A and B are shown apart, each in its own frame.
Chain A
Amino acid sequence: MDRKRIAGPELSVPPLFDKPQIVPQELAGEGRPDGRSPEDVRPIFLKTGLINQANGSAYIELGNTKLACAVYVLFFPTHCSSAFPRLITPPPRCSYGPRQNKKQTFSNMGLLNCEFKFASFSCSKRRGNQRDSQEKEYSQILSEALAPAVRLELFPKAMIDVFVTVLENDGTASCLAGAITAASVAIADAGLEMIDQVAAVSAVERSHHLVFPQRTQSFAKDQILMDATSAEEKLETGTLVVSYMPSANEVTHVLQTGETEGPVTVQAIEQCIDACSKIYTVMSAALVESLKEGERPRV
């Protein structure tokens, strides 16, 4: 039992809705409820530096999906500091800063410690305050997707902390994709050296037989919905999250779950890579914007 929070009842449930809130026919039709074409991603809002205590931070909105990311990094030994001018002056009260990696044995590489959390009010069903297995899985994926882009060999024995909190979940796969995108921008905002930015995008794959039982031909295009909302996710048979470094032209992470046909997945990966390149321009614009604002006072 959790004695450190104000306790509610042992069991509580949301009320049952008499009518389903979303009509499945609308979603099974040809278009999408918000008028996007299947390969369109939702409009993105991305801004850095909103969490002023952090070394780097980013806030991202993908349609209704909203999440915040903060990066706390160590301070560099003097011989490195000329390469990272924004980190020479550490925050005055930062007790956290140089964080020794105590858990692991000696490692020549730095460790990217990611913590992914859904706020308790962020999903349609209330989440617990403690991290559950899905959040732990997403934390792991986050660090796997970002590690190839960060030059971890520059910080042996040390840890970089990346915290992501989802404020509103409109598509669970899009939360993960948004987290990777935002964390990448936040790491760059913190002034850490990277090989490239990591853009990520999600797609939902719908089984042909489930969605269009009356049709005989396969329309692969209709089976892939980029950047699906949570309403669209209800009809999914598979999800795909692709993380991609656009300048380096390298895929850092692919996660496919569920059951789909092989050619559909291959096409979905290609569509995701195209979408990542579009997202990359948004990320670059946000970083350029943060540099234009000049040296922010880092409290």
Chain B
Amino acid sequence: MATDNADVFRRIQPHEYFRRFIEQNVRPDGRQLHKFRKTTLNVGAISTANGSAMVRIGGTTVICGIKAEVAEPKISTPDEGFLDPAHVQAHSSYATQHAYISVPNVELSPICSPKFRSGPPSEQAQVASEFLNKIIKISKVLSLTDLCIEPSKAVWVLYADVLCLSYDGNVLDASLLALVSALLDPGIMSLPYPMANRAPSVSNSFPPLVQLPKVTYSEGIVRALADEPVTRLTLYRIPVSTTLSLLAKRLLSDPSDAEESLADEQVTVTIDERGRLCHIWKVGGGSNTATPDVLKECIQRARARYGDVKGMVERAFKERRVVFVASVGDETEMDT
């Protein structure tokens, strides 16, 4: 009955249980400390969405579906859409004429884990939504000019709903990857794209990828032209996040649910395709281990992770479009 004893030990002394594994440089699920769980990406599975992607990281499954609709900009800011005032100031050159709205929301419904109840979103879901919102808006992943239909009359709204179907930790990484992949997805309106063979017009931008029906605006009505080629959305950066947990004074990549709930501190590093940092988020403290060297190690692991994710995204979009055109490895900007 050795397994039963281990099980009892894990439940009564979870910290000690994990510590003994980590001392041997291995985790209870058999992974080494720096290893990530098996990650898979599937794009374009949902035909009712304008773009969709499903990401699995180990036992965590999230689906992002994007619905594009048309709305009027706010009356007080007719040309500026729904961005935060601070943000509009920071990027006024983009925001003066046109605007788009993107509404990312993360849904941690009771289907994914016994931790969550039905009803309004939990705090964790709200935090995850805000995390995505910040990265998309402040890191300038999308250009504000691209999704304006008619200045001060009509703009696109992208409703990006990230739905967690199975929760086993590291939901931020999965959500961001699903959101970005869904934005890249050609979706149902896919038409022959000339983009694969064309060099990008702006050296540091990506070819336009996301489909939106081509629309015309007249007399207050936005009409979609079903036969016309679709308008495509340009992603200027492709951010990918990497979450690490500090547990028993060691750094664990891609924590599972059990590891997340025991961890002293957690770091989420988001970088783009050129290795530039988009966002760093560290929570927790008191374990006296998160030194600057440890944080540098986090960034290095995030870079290594980016290479793996990039390969996966390329495979998922294979023969559909070129995702990564800018050369990766402009490392000088962020040399540690």
The dominant DSSP class at the A interface is loop
Q: Cβ of B186 < 8 Å from any Cβ of A?
A: no
Chain A residues bordering chain B, tally (CB within 8 A) = 55
Bound-state Cα–Cα, A58 to B335, Å: 47
Q: Cβ of A140 < 8 Å from any Cβ of B?
A: no
Name 8 A/B residue pairs within 8 A (Cβ), A-sorted.
Answer: A8-B71, A15-B215, A70-B112, A93-B115, A93-B257, A120-B159, A121-B49, A121-B67
Q: A11-B71, A53-B113, A121-B49 are in contact. Are A16 and B161 (CB under 8 A)?
A: no
Q: Cβ of A163 < 8 Å from any Cβ of B?
A: yes
Docked-complex contact A18 and B59, CB < 8 angstroms: no
Q: Cβ of A28 < 8 Å from any Cβ of B?
A: no
Contact for A9 among B101, B227, B258, CB less than 8 A: B101
Contact for B261 among A50, A93, A164, A168, CB less than 8 A: A93
Contact for B118 among A4, A12, A115, A121, CB less than 8 A: A115
Docked-complex contact A122 and B48, CB < 8 angstroms: yes
Docked-complex contact B71 and A165, CB < 8 angstroms: no
Docked-complex contact B111 and A299, CB < 8 angstroms: no
Could you say which residues of chain A place their CB within 8 Å of the CB of B10? 92
Could you say which residues of chain B place their CB within 8 Å of the CB of A208? none
Docked-complex contact B7 and A167, CB < 8 angstroms: no
CB-CB nearest in chain A for B56: A50
Interface residues, chain B, CB within 8 Å of chain A? Answer: 7, 10-11, 45-49, 52, 59, 61, 63, 65-72, 74, 82, 101, 103-105, 107, 109-115, 118, 120-121, 126, 129-130, 133, 157, 159, 161, 163, 165-168, 213, 215, 221-227, 257-258, 261
Q: Cβ of A266 < 8 Å from any Cβ of B?
A: no
CB-CB nearest in chain B for A230: B48
Bound-state Cα–Cα, A229 to B157, Å: 28
Bound-state Cα–Cα, A89 to B225, Å: 58
Docked-complex contact A15 and B223, CB < 8 angstroms: yes
Could you say which residues of chain B place their CB within 8 Å of the CB of A121? 46, 48-49, 52, 65-67, 159, 161
CB-CB nearest in chain A for B50: A121
Bound-state Cα–Cα, A275 to B10, Å: 48
Docked-complex contact A299 and B168, CB < 8 angstroms: yes
Q: Cβ of A94 < 8 Å from any Cβ of B?
A: yes
Docked-complex contact B71 and A119, CB < 8 angstroms: no
Which residues of chain A (1-30) have a CB below 8 Å from chain B? 2, 4-9, 11-19, 21
Docked-complex contact B222 and A11, CB < 8 angstroms: no
Q: A6-B133, A51-B166, A126-B69 are in contact. Are A97 and B114 (CB under 8 A)?
A: yes
Docked-complex contact B67 and A15, CB < 8 angstroms: no
Pick the 6 closest A-B CB pairs, nearest first: A121-B65, A96-B114, A12-B71, A9-B71, A163-B111, A15-B224
Docked-complex contact A122 and B46, CB < 8 angstroms: yes
Bound-state Cα–Cα, A228 to B201, Å: 46
Bound-state Cα–Cα, A92 to B223, Å: 54
Could you say which residues of chain A place their CB within 8 Å of the CB of B68? 14
Contact for B222 among A7, A16, A54, A97, CB less than 8 A: A16
Bound-state Cα–Cα, A169 to B11, Å: 41
Docked-complex contact A124 and B48, CB < 8 angstroms: yes
A92 to chain B, nearest CB (A): 5
Q: Cβ of A68 < 8 Å from any Cβ of B?
A: yes
Q: A17-B213, A17-B226 are in contact. Are A50 and B166 (CB under 8 A)?
A: yes
Docked-complex contact A9 and B61, CB < 8 angstroms: no
- Given A6-B105, A8-B71, A53-B59: 6 more A-B contacts, CB < 8 Å: A17-B213, A18-B226, A52-B166, A53-B112, A119-B161, A129-B105
A107 to chain B, nearest CB (A): 21
Docked-complex contact B130 and A13, CB < 8 angstroms: no
Docked-complex contact A119 and B111, CB < 8 angstroms: no
